[in-house]
């Protein structure tokens, strides 16, 4: 009750009433700010003053709080021994060095992988460049003699030479004899069999070589070790020459056009 300043009468104080059940609910929170118990503290204590049972509960709770407070204070400043911190710092440094070495290993592995990828890419680019001429047969006309068609015995230069590049697949599957047969099927010209040149290598090494149509003086045939008896009187002779990859002549055959045959 409090006195009304206007008319001097006492009015009942506006306070939430707390019964025993509610009191037991809020008792542990009376001193805990921000909880429902703290908001009802005054009303709860007022109830405890009137209720002996709840008053006894307050006494017990205070004793418990006191003991808990003592334990809390006794241990409030406790910390782990400094050796724990030292051990943890050692572990941290160890982990850091392991992480950096792991990072280094990863970087090395990435570098190796990148190098491998670059190598593969480089090889894949290099291969088409070296094999491209084989894939597309080309005809190169040249009016001058090339050293590549010269034999090691310094054969005289051929003139009006036509170089037919043989696809690699064909050269791999065909022997000079087979090439002759193919040429024989051409009805416009007559050709002899290929004759290996004296210094020729094993014909099986002619893979990737080329057949070169040359026109050369008859006297040059002698330098290739070929007999010229029984040949026509023409000064110029047409021949197919099998040339290895390094440009060395390996075999030769004489070619004559059918109409020129009749001339002879």
Residues that bind another protein (CB under 8 A): 25, 28-29, 32, 34-35, 59-68, 70-82, 84-85, 87-89, 91-93, 95-96, 99-100
State which residue, 87 or 116, has the beta carbon closest to another protein: 87
State which residue, 32 or 127, has the beta carbon closest to another protein: 32
Q: How far is the CB of 94 from another protein (least distance, A)?
A: 9
State which residue, 38 or 43, has the beta carbon closest to another protein: 38
C-alpha span between 154 and 220 (Å, rounded): 10
Using alpha carbons, list the distances in angstroms from residue 19 to 32, 34, 42, 45, 60.
20, 21, 13, 11, 18
Q: How far is the CB of 85 from another protein (least distance, A)?
A: 6
C-alpha span between 92 and 112 (Å, rounded): 30
State which residue, 71 or 115, has the beta carbon closest to another protein: 71
Q: How far is the CB of 117 from another protein (least distance, A)?
A: 30
Q: How far is the CB of 83 from another protein (least distance, A)?
A: 9
Counting beta carbons within 10 angstroms of the beta carbon of residue 39, is it exposed (0 to 12), middle (13 to 18) or buried (19 or more)?
middle
State which residue, 63 or 173, has the beta carbon closest to another protein: 63
Using alpha carbons, list the distances in angstroms from residue 167 to 58, 136, 138, 244.
109, 7, 9, 13
Q: How far is the CB of 110 from another protein (least distance, A)?
A: 20
Q: What CA dihedral angle connects 140, 145, 149 and 153, to 10 degrees? A: 180
Q: How far is the CB of 91 from another protein (least distance, A)?
A: 6
State which residue, 36 or 122, has the beta carbon closest to another protein: 36
Bridge partners for 210 per DSSP: 243
Q: How far is the CB of 47 from another protein (least distance, A)?
A: 18
DSSP 27: G
DSSP 7: T
Using alpha carbons, list the distances in angstroms from residue 62 to 29, 32, 174.
12, 13, 111
- Return the SS3 of 95: helix
Q: What is the largest CA-CA distance in the chain?
A: 161
State which residue, 68 or 228, has the beta carbon closest to another protein: 68
DSSP 151: -
């Amino acid at each position: 009750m409090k006195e009304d300043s206007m008319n001097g009468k006492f009015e009942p104080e506006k306070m939430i009433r707390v019964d025993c059940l509610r009191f037991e609910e809020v008792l542990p929170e009376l001193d805990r700010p921000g909880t429902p118990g703290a908001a009802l503290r005054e009303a709860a204590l007022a109830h405890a003053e009137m209720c002996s049972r709840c008053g006894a509960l307050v006494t017990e709770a205070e004793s418990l709080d006191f003991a808990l407070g003592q334990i809390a204070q006794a241990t409030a400043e406790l910390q782990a021994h400094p050796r724990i911190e030292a051990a943890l710092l050692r572990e941290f440094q160890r982990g850091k060095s392991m992480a950096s070495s792991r990072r280094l290993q990863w970087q090395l592995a990435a570098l190796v992988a990148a190098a491998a990828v670059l190598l593969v890419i480089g090889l894949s680019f290099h291969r088409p460049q070296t094999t491209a001429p084989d894939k597309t047969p080309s005809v190169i006309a040249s009016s001058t003699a090339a050293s590549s068609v010269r034999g090691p015995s310094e054969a005289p230069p051929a003139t009006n030479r036509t170089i037919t590049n043989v696809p690699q697949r064909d050269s791999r599957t065909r022997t000079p004899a087979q090439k002759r047969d193919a040429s024989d099927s051409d009805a416009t010209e007559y050709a002899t069999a290929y004759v290996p040149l004296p210094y020729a290598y094993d014909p099986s090494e002619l893979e990737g070589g080329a057949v070169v149509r040359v026109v050369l003086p008859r006297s040059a045939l002698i330098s290739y070790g070929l007999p010229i008896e029984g040949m026509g009187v023409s000064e110029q002779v047409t021949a197919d020459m099998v040339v290895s990859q390094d440009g060395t002549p390996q075999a030769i055959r004489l070619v004559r056009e059918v109409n020129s045959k009749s001339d002879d």
